[in-house]
Amino acid sequence: MPKSKQRGDWKKTRLIACLLLISSFSLFAAVPSDSASTRPVSSQWDLAKKGIAPATLLLSSTLIGHFDNEIRDFRNEVAPNYRYSYDDFLQIAPGIGAIGLRCAGVKGRSETWGEMLSATLLSSIMSVAFTEGLKNTTGRTRPYNEYEQNSFPSGHTITAFTSATILHNEYWEVNPWYSIGGYACAAFVGISRVLNNRHWASDVLAGAGLGIISGEMGYIINDQLFHSTPSTTYKEGNPHFFGANALFSPIGKDISVLLYGNELHFKHKYGYGYAIEGAYFPLKHIGIGGKMTALYNIFESDNPTIRLESNYQARNYSIAPGLYLAQPLSDRFLIGCKYLFGLGGSFSFNVDKVEETTDRILFDEYTYGWSMESGAFLHYLICDKLALRLASNYASSSARYEFFDFGGNQENTHNLTVELGINVALQ
């Protein structure tokens, strides 16, 4: 692949890497400590220190990205035939080790099986959200194939370092060698992704940082659920939150494509997806936060002579930070609004000819651009630390639907969405 093309792909990714670098400190510093907790955190600085390692790795990713081609060329010179698949299994080895130690009766940080499995699940959700959200938002090409646009970050490395962080959190105080072994295994996975020519070096470093963030955040949220004193109400405390939402889009952008002088029209039917969202409120009513969204829009064709691939599905992704405003209505009810602005990406879908042949007449294309979202939300505090979330949002992006060699919809994409989710109330 031409060096200039890969450089261009990395320029798309540096903005995300820099945003994640900044947020890796604020992510941990923003989590409120609770001195009355059964597992107290002594200070906000102790939490902020957890952000040093991932911040260093993300900074290294942004710096080493300028030398990705040179590193790939060096790999091709010294180990051109290196092809091993052991990293597919080693990525989960530290996590299996943590579960194995628990099965063997070695008690770690978690007091019960339920607490440990809950922390593992929360860490895994974070890991999957980072992997799928960023891969499909940045659209960076692979070092071995310029048509595979899902290189950044390395999913294997995120999984490996999330797994190692779970082992570290559980058993560091029992024996530090458990942590050393887990992180050594994760590092080996990251190196193997470069040696196997599956990822650029910067993909792996970013994956390591995001994996540590996923593992640490999983345990921080889990401690709020299992080891905190009863929370204050919305009227008494600041409404920090983190959670997952299911999305439905009844209204979206249609697609019109001019093909050989004829206009093809695809009508938006509906969309569905998921989002990971959180915010920290340094003031009672004003907060800062962000959201990662994956939305799958379903289309139908107005032309009976063509058919669509991929279940008529076009994909939209975004990662965006922004401003949150909130106002408690009562002890349990909270209303608010937000404005987010960040990076978005879109994949269109392939179109086949159906008359005498099935030759593909339109090829899907990946595009990226800015993304904006505004909306309103309602939170209802179900119990001590869990809240039900209802929201309605309008999202727009310059990452339009586009087809290779045929142009595409020249207007911005947009969706109106409704959301239902569960939040952990980090008060």
Report CA-CA distances (Å) from 190 to 9, 162, 194: 21, 12, 7
How sure is the predictor about 3, in pLDDT bands with cuts at 50, 70 and 90?
very low
How sure is the predictor about 324, in pLDDT bands with cuts at 50, 70 and 90?
very high
Residue 244's pLDDT is 87
**Residue 23 pLDDT more than 70?**
no
Give the tens place of pLDDT for each residue, 385-401. 788 999 999 999 998 88
Residue 34's pLDDT is 44
Distance CA 165, CA 101 (A): 15
Among 42-46, 93-97, 222-226, 375-379, whose mean pLDDT is lowest? 42-46
Residue 425's pLDDT is 82
* pTM, full prediction: 0.72
Domain-wise residue ranges, the chain: 3-226, 241-425
The fold for domain 241-425 equals Porin (2.40.160)
Q: Which of 245, 240, 418 is nearest to 324 (CA)?
A: 240
Distance CA 191, CA 275 (A): 31
Residue 305's pLDDT is 62
CB 5 within 8 Å of CB 141: yes
Among 45-49, 133-137, 139-143, whose mean pLDDT is lowest? 45-49
Residue 233's pLDDT is 82
SS (H, E, C) the chain: CCHHHHHHHHHHHHHHHHHHHHHHHHHHHCCCCCCCCCCCCCCHHHHHHCCHHHHHHHHHHHHHHHHHHHHHHHHHHHCCCCCCCCHHHHCCHHHHHHHHHHHCCCCCCCCCHHHHHHHHHHHHHHHHHHHHHHHHHHCCCCCCCCCCCCCCCCHHHHHHHHHHHHHHHHHCCCCHHHHHHHHHHHHHHHHHHHHCCCCCHHHHHHHHHHHHHHHHHHHHHHHHHHCCCCCCCCCCCCCCEEEEEEEEEEEECCEEEEECCEEEEEEEEEEEEEEEEEEECCCCCEEEEEEEEEEEEEEEECCCCEEECHHHEEEEEEEEEEEEEEEECCCCEEEEEEEEEEEEEEECCCEEECCCCCCEEEEECEEEEEEEEEEEEEEEECCCCEEEEEEEEEEEECCCCEEECCEECCCCEEEEEEEEEEEEECC
Give the tens place of pLDDT for each residue, 188-245. 999 999 999 999 999 999 999 999 999 988 888 888 778 766 666 888 888 999 888 9
Give the tens place of pLDDT for each residue, 39-86. 544 455 566 677 788 888 888 888 888 888 899 999 999 888 888 889
Among 33-42, 100-109, 316-325, whose mean pLDDT is lowest? 33-42
Distance CA 101, CA 124 (A): 19
Residue 217's pLDDT is 86
**Residue 10 pLDDT more than 60?**
no
Give the tens place of pLDDT for each residue, 157-180. 999 999 999 999 999 999 999 999
Residue 29's pLDDT is 44
Give the tens place of pLDDT for each residue, 285-317. 999 999 989 898 988 877 666 655 545 678 898
Helix 155-171 vs helix 113-138: angle between axes, to the nearest 10 degrees? Answer: 160
The fold for domain 3-226 equals Vanadium-containing Chloroperoxidase; domain 1 (1.20.144)
Neighbouring C-beta atoms of residue 171, cutoff 10 Å: 23
Give the tens place of pLDDT for each residue, 243-296. 889 999 999 998 887 766 677 788 899 998 889 899 999 998 999 999 989 898
Report CA-CA distances (Å) from 360 to 256, 363, 411: 17, 7, 24
